[in-house]
Amino acid sequence: MAASPQVSVIVCSFNRNDFLDRALESVFDQTLDRRLYEVIVVRNQPSKIMRSKINFKVDCDLTLDGEPLGEWIITALDHTQGDIIAFLDDDDLFLRDRLKTVVDVFSSNSSCLYYHTSQLKLKCNETEGAGNTGALGGGKMKFYGNNKQAEMWNLWRYGASFNLSSIAVRKSIFTGIEEYVKRTNTGVIQLLFFKAISSQGELCVETTPRVIYRIHEGNRSPNDADDFLTILKKMSLQTPVMLRDIAEIRKFLREHLPSINITPLESLEAKYDMYKLLTDPGSSRAELIRFFLYNVAARRARLWDMKTALIAIYLLFPGTMRKALFRKKES
């Protein structure tokens, strides 16, 4: 590369080379000058799977074993030259102006540390998706400085810690948290969010979609399931991972930011604690009801949340659903 890149894009792929080509095509089809960004691919499958024309354009192709995701990211960071780090999951896509907007945001505000954009949510067989404009309304970009801790709950509810492909950060955000990131998996974005909230820098959120979040059967998140049984099955797979990540984030906050408000993290933990009870064949109906009511009373669960409503129905009629779930898990 003739010029030094401003942005380093880290593309992570775990057992999904069938999505990777399309993701990389979206990275190379950007309005930003190609000399201003580099592409680092980290995955657990060999490079021969990729089409040669795409492989040729990748600046660094790393093959690693196992998880967690955070260790992949820290390894990739050692190979980056850019001051700005953008991420792309293998099953997501960049819209054409994604990286140009990233550069504009960080260039126009030298104190910006963390930038989150909205997504178009798209099923893999669809050509149009619905944007997530959250609580802030459509088409807006807002910077949070001294007020970001006071606004943390609103930012959390909007989804500013959702979807790794939707964020870009300054590389300096990783200073002092490398070991925590290494031990974190799905929760990497939440860890970076809390680091940004607690920092002296600014946090930017934008409600104009710049990323396509693709929904498919392989998605791990319960949010992407179409029926209650699938939601429960995905809960059972994702819950242990997230609870380990939350424990790691708690450790980081306890050791470095003991005064920060961790209500959003407690809310997330309460949700996954409930998922754990729901998917544990040994938990009783009384335990579920008691836990549900406690968290609603403590405002750690939202009555208007669709999954919470489904859980409430499940508490009333648990037998058939639970039997079906564990039959399906055993088959």
- State phi, psi for 93 to the nearest 5 degrees: -135, 145
Q: Is the pLDDT of residue 326 over 60?
A: no
Buried b (16+ CB within 10 A) or exposed e, 20-52: bebbbebbeebebeeebbbbbbbbbeeeeebee
Enter the DSSP assignment of 94: E
DSSP structure string for 229-251: HHHHHHHHHHHHHHHHHHHHHHH
pLDDT tens-digit profile of 250-302? 898 888 878 777 777 887 787 777 777 777 767 666 676 666 666 665 555 45
Strand ranges in the chain using DSSP code E only, listed in sequence order:
7-13, 37-43, 60-63, 84-89, 92-94, 112-123, 130-131, 141-144, 167-170, 202-215
In the CATH hierarchy, which fold is given to the domain comprising 7-215? Answer: Spore Coat Polysaccharide Biosynthesis Protein SpsA; Chain A (3.90.550)
* Burial classification of residue 209, based on how many CB atoms lie within 10 Å of its CB (0-12 exposed, 13-18 middle, 19 or more buried): buried
Model pTM above 0.95: no
- Rounded to 10 deg, the angle between the 306-316 and 285-297 helix axes is 150
Rounded to an integer, what distance in angstroms lies between the CA atom of residue 273 and that of residue 268? 9
Q: Give the contacts of 318 (CB within 8 A, at least 6 positions apart).
A: 285, 288
Q: What is the CA radius of gyration of the chain?
A: 20
Per-residue model confidence (pLDDT) at position 258:
81
CB count within 10 Å of CB 307 equals 18
Per-residue model confidence (pLDDT) at position 215:
78
Enter the DSSP assignment of 4: P
β-bridge partners, 85: 8, 169
Rounded to an integer, what distance in angstroms lies between the CA atom of residue 301 and that of residue 297? 8
| Domain regions of the chain by residue span | 7-215, 222-330
Q: Is the pLDDT of residue 181 over 90?
A: yes
With a pLDDT cut of 70, the percent of the chain lying above it is 68
Instruction: Please provide the size of the chain in residues.
Output: 331
pLDDT tens-digit profile of 45-61? 665 545 545 555 889 98
pLDDT tens-digit profile of 208-258? 999 998 876 666 665 555 555 666 676 777 788 888 888 898 898 888 878
Per-residue model confidence (pLDDT) at position 125:
57
Per-residue model confidence (pLDDT) at position 75:
93
Per-residue model confidence (pLDDT) at position 303:
45
DSSP structure string for 187-222: THHHHHHHHHHHSSSEEEEEEEEEEEEEE-TT---G
- Between 200 and 172, where is the model more confident? 172
pLDDT band at 313, cuts 50/70/90? low
